[in-house]
Chains A and B, each alone.
Chain A
């Protein structure tokens, strides 16, 4: 078991504090598409990145930049990485989140036995703590190496709520979904074929409330497995929908699909008047979530020209 060791005296690779635990729970929950998921966490002076993968077809990354933390002290060398159970980590963080109350959480890595240490630090006389066992990440995560498909990006931004609704609706027809982008008229089409056909058209200019931005100079079309597409929106937190945010989808070289969401990790409304009165402007505290979905193989290579 853990014992007081001399290493505890040395500065850990990371010591950080967070005042919005719920925001972090929201951000991490976004990439939790099944019960048992192993995640890899990567630490650097810029922040923490959490990576989850599904057998080389789907990868998700949560970027928690240092600006999201109220304190961020990094002393690691060469980006320390460790594996952790995502479900356990999120459930554990949840125990530190008190609804309607601002609580400060301290995260430290590594502990005496390479654990990830969490501790509430609001009160001098009471604390909750957790030690999560970490693993050496067993696979070097495959680099999805997203590259633009051509000289101009093929991308559109759609309201997150609408995207989620469209993908939820596409559950009915079957196992793969074709995404089609065409410049004239500017339309994004989601099409599922299986038990029947279902086609959802998002028309730019017709409804700019829904499809917020659209860049496409040539027609492209790729098929994606429904279950992977669904994973990108299945756990979008309520705050994203409430904030009426948009999600950006980009099709890269070879049809690799990038889906980006923005999750607010803003300070809870019970703010520190001391800081506010000093005229300090809080930069927007947003966690960036990225999913990379590989297309199904059978598409013709002509798409990439």
Chain B
């Protein structure tokens, strides 16, 4: 019985998707993938003498962070793969990653939005926002940390929750700004077995700072993954 299970790292995806697979694809459509305990090797034209032989070898750490392999042949496995299919699959993974935004809100009044691809991470953070419901004071030792680190620590501490929403949905929700609301409240609410991202807008009575209860607007965005918290 042959088995292997691996988790590609971000760097691994980057290395294959952006650099190696485009090159290997040119060598020939089909290559042999050979895996052993320490290495993953892409082999082209090894058996048919003619054509360019190409051998690309990666130590497992270069691509994977969790690498398990077992076979009766001293834990070696080999099979043929279609390079262009593999390339397409990886490209798809990369594009799916860029279709989602990570949003977290904390008891300290922090709203943190972040999107990542293999090449860039882009984010925005708003602090000391008004909190409805349970609030807490941010630990002072977190003050000088980066937004990402602070957000991750807050989630670990159980003081924040994060969700992933579709960028497309988020873009639509931004259009609500056209209605010129005076306040926007953000929340993560349970919905069915998962959660949803809720935005409630408030409008003032013109010329005052009093809420106009005769108007209401709110959006509910589906969430991909409840995340942690």
Contacts and interface: CB of A to CB of B under 8 A. Distances in A.
Interface of A: 1-4, 85, 88, 92, 95, 115, 124-133
Given A85-B119, A115-B121, A128-B123, 16 more contacts: A1-B10, A3-B149, A88-B119, A88-B120, A92-B120, A92-B122, A124-B127, A125-B126, A126-B126, A127-B124, A127-B125, A128-B125, A129-B124, A129-B125, A131-B120, A132-B119
Residue from the set B118, B127, B146, B147 with the largest chain A CB neighbour count within 10 Å: B146
Contact of B121 (A3, A126, A130): A130
B128 interface: yes
A128 B113 CA distance: 9
Contacts of A126: 124-127
B28 to A, nearest CB: 24
B123 to A, nearest CB: 5
B145 interface: yes
14 contacts: A2-B146, A2-B148, A85-B119, A92-B120, A125-B127, A126-B124, A127-B125, A128-B124, A128-B125, A130-B121, A130-B123, A131-B121, A133-B14, A133-B118
A115 B149 CA distance: 15
A90 to B, nearest CB: 12
Nearest to B126: A126
Contacts of B122: 92, 95, 128-130
A260 B82 CA distance: 48
A4 B149 CA distance: 7
Contacts of B149: 2-4
B120 A129 contact: no
A141 to B, nearest CB: 19
Interface of B: 10, 14, 118-129, 145-149
A250 B124 CA distance: 45
Nearest to B147: A129
B51 to A, nearest CB: 26
Chain B interface helix/strand/loop/mixed: mixed
B147 to A, nearest CB: 6
A105 to B, nearest CB: 14
B133 to A, nearest CB: 20
Nearest to B120: A132
A133 B9 CA distance: 15
Nearest to B119: A133
A249 B145 CA distance: 48
B183 to A, nearest CB: 16
A124 B143 CA distance: 11
B123 A129 contact: yes
A126 B127 CA distance: 6
Contacts of A2: 146, 148-149
Contacts of A92: 120, 122
Given A1-B10, A2-B148, A4-B145, A130 B128 contact: no
A53 to B, nearest CB: 18
Contacts of A125: 126-129
Nearest to A1: B10
Contacts of A130: 120-123
Contacts of A131: 120-121
A133 B146 contact: no
A133 B14 CA distance: 10
A132 B149 CA distance: 16
B120 A133 contact: yes
A127 B128 CA distance: 12
A130 B128 CA distance: 21
Contacts of B127: 124-126
A286 B147 CA distance: 33
Contacts of A95: 122
Contacts of A132: 119-120
A151 to B, nearest CB: 48
Contacts of B126: 125-126
User: Which among B119, B128, B148, B149 has the greatest number of chain A C-beta atoms within 10 A?
Assistant: B119
B106 to A, nearest CB: 14
Most buried by A among B10, B121, B125: B121
B19 to A, nearest CB: 10
A9 to B, nearest CB: 10
